[in-house]
Amino acid sequence: MPKLKTHRGTIKRVRITGTGKLIRNRAFGHHKLANKSGSRKRRISTPSVITGKIAKNLKRAIGA
């Protein structure tokens, strides 16, 4: 079989940690922040861990 190509868009959006977990940033945190509550903005600012089958597929896409 040929080599798998890495998906460059995924690499720009997802980081892999030292233990192999996948980290992504949450959406909706870039504009119209005056309308959002402080607790919502704090929740948006924290990164999220990707788990399960999606993480497995993303690891294959980024070549990890």
Q: What dihedral angle (degrees, nearest 10) is formed by the CA atoms of 16, 7, 46, 49?
A: -50
Domain count, the chain: 1
Q: What is the pLDDT of residues 19-60, one digit of tens each?
A: 999 999 999 999 999 999 999 999 999 999 999 999 999 999
At residue 64, the pLDDT reads 81
The model carries a pTM of 0.80
Is the pLDDT reported for residue 2 higher than 90?
Answer: no
Q: Are 14 and 36 in contact (CB under 8 A)?
A: no
Query: Which DSSP category does 3 fall into?
Result: P
At residue 12, the pLDDT reads 95
Residue 3 lies in a domain: no
Residue type, 17: T
At residue 48, the pLDDT reads 97
At residue 34, the pLDDT reads 97
Domain at 52, CATH number: 4.10.410.60
Residue 1 lies in a domain: no
E-assigned strand segments in 1-50: 14-16, 22-24, 48-50
Residue carrying the six token digits 């402080």: 38
Q: Could you tell me the residue range of the domain that residue 27 belongs to?
A: 8-62
